[in-house]
């Protein structure tokens, strides 16, 4: 019995250390703990966002500005967020995205959204916004998820290994430009759609209903799209374009490229 009591007393410091190592409150909690904390950012007056580094953001429409972040103390200490003119710029300090980095989650509410710029290994989800014009530029290994957009014009540019997923877009004009190994999957409706894909990029807009389409590919890129009335297609290299919807098509190809309307 005495032996069991001694073993129990010896185990207490180990239990306390294990609790701290798992992020529970304790005076010896490590600076590299995976416990997370929340902080409020006092930022306003912006209608564009530039996100770089290795973090994630959720952007929502709202009547007023609000921003908060959630992450480990170490990662929050390495995060920079400031407004430059009408742009909110979020990035990590040098070395802030090393192999110890844990993505910070940034929650942003804003009245209007005009432009998004993503780079590095960032990820962003944008809920339904409306306005005259929207632009998005993705590079690196960034990812953008648009869950709704209602605008007159949408211009979407992708490079590197970036990815775009867009649902329920409603626009007069949509322009989509892809290069590198980027990928885009876009759904919704637009009066006219223009797509250009180069390198090894891939665009799938078969669920983006339109009456007028212009599509151009080069390299090994591919486009799968929809048009109900008219389509102008051009393809070079070993690229391909396929269009459904019954449109009347004007086609120009070169090299071993292929283009067709079904």
- Each residue's pLDDT tens digit, 129-180: 999 999 999 999 999 999 999 999 999 999 999 999 999 999 999 999 999 9
Question: Do 107 and 228 belong together in one domain?
Answer: no
Check the CA dihedral 107-113-119-125 and report its sign: positive
Question: Do 141 and 256 belong together in one domain?
Answer: yes
pLDDT score of 16 more than 90 = no
133's tokens: 């014009």
Question: Do 93 and 133 belong together in one domain?
Answer: no
- 10 Å CB burial of residue 99 (0-12, 13-18, 19+) is exposed
Predicted TM-score (pTM) of this structure: 0.86
Question: Do 156 and 96 belong together in one domain?
Answer: no
Range 25-38 average pLDDT: 61
Range 58-73 average pLDDT: 98
Give the Cα separation of 187 and 209 in Å (integer). Answer: 8
Give the Cα separation of 151 and 54 in Å (integer). Answer: 29
Question: Do 80 and 139 belong together in one domain?
Answer: no
Domain encompassing residue 206: 128-262
Q: What is the pLDDT, as a whole number, of residue 33?
A: 60
Question: In the block, which residue shows the tokens 């997923």?
Answer: 165
**Predicted confidence band at 262 (pLDDT cuts at 50, 70, 90)?**
confident
Range 100-123 average pLDDT: 98
Residue 175 in domain? yes
Say which residues have a Cβ less than 8 Å from residue 109's Cβ, sequence separation at least 6.
Answer: 59, 60, 61, 62, 64, 65, 66, 67
Residue 255 in domain? yes
Residue 234 in domain? yes
Question: Do 105 and 149 belong together in one domain?
Answer: no
Question: Do 58 and 168 belong together in one domain?
Answer: no
pLDDT score of 204 more than 80 = yes
Question: Do 147 and 253 belong together in one domain?
Answer: yes
pLDDT score of 21 more than 80 = no
Q: Show which of 78, 111, 144 is a domain's final residue.
A: 111
Residue 76 in domain? yes
**Alpha carbon of 226 to those of 8, 88, 120, 193, 205: distances in Å?**
71, 36, 31, 9, 7
Q: What is the pLDDT, as a whole number, of residue 32?
A: 54
**Predicted confidence band at 216 (pLDDT cuts at 50, 70, 90)?**
very high
pLDDT score of 17 more than 80 = no
**Predicted confidence band at 5 (pLDDT cuts at 50, 70, 90)?**
very low
Q: What is the pLDDT, as a whole number, of residue 10?
A: 38
Range 211-233 average pLDDT: 99
Question: Do 149 and 203 belong together in one domain?
Answer: yes
Query: What is the tally of structural domains in the chain?
Result: 2
Q: What is the pLDDT, as a whole number, of residue 95?
A: 81
Q: Show which of 77, 111, 145 is a domain's final residue.
A: 111
Residue 217 in domain? yes
Q: Show which of 81, 111, 141 is a domain's final residue.
A: 111
Question: Do 253 and 173 belong together in one domain?
Answer: yes
């Amino acid at each position: 019995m005495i032996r069991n009591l001694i073993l129990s007393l010896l185990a207490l410091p180990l239990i306390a250390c294990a609790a701290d190592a798992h992020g529970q409150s304790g005076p010896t909690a490590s600076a590299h703990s995976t416990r997370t904390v929340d902080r409020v950012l006092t930022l306003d007056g912006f209608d564009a966002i530039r996100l770089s580094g290795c973090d994630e953001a959720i952007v929502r429409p709202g009547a007023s500005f609000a921003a908060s972040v959630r992450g480990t103390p170490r990662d929050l200490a390495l995060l920079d967020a400031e407004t430059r003119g009408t742009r909110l710029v979020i990035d990590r300090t040098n070395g802030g995205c090393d192999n110890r980095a844990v993505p910070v989650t940034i929650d942003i509410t804003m009245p209007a959204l005009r432009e998004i710029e993503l780079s590095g290994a960032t990820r962003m989800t944008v809920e339904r916004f409306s306005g005259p014009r929207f632009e998005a530029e993705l590079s690196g290994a960034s990812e953008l998820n648009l869950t709704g957009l209602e605008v007159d014009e949408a211009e979407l540019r992708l490079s590197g290994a970036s990815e775009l997923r867009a649902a329920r877009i409603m626009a007069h004009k949509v322009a989509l430009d892809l290069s590198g190994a980027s990928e885009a999957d876009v759904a919704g409706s637009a009066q006219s759609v223009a797509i250009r894909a180069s390198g090894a990029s891939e665009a799938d807009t078969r669920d983006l209903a339109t009456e007028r389409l212009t599509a151009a590919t080069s390299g090994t890129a591919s486009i799968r799209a929809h048009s109900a009335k008219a389509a102008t297609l051009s393809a070079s290299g070993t690229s391909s374009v396929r269009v459904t919807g019954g449109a009347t098509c004007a086609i120009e190809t070169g090299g071993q490229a292929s283009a067709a309307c079904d």
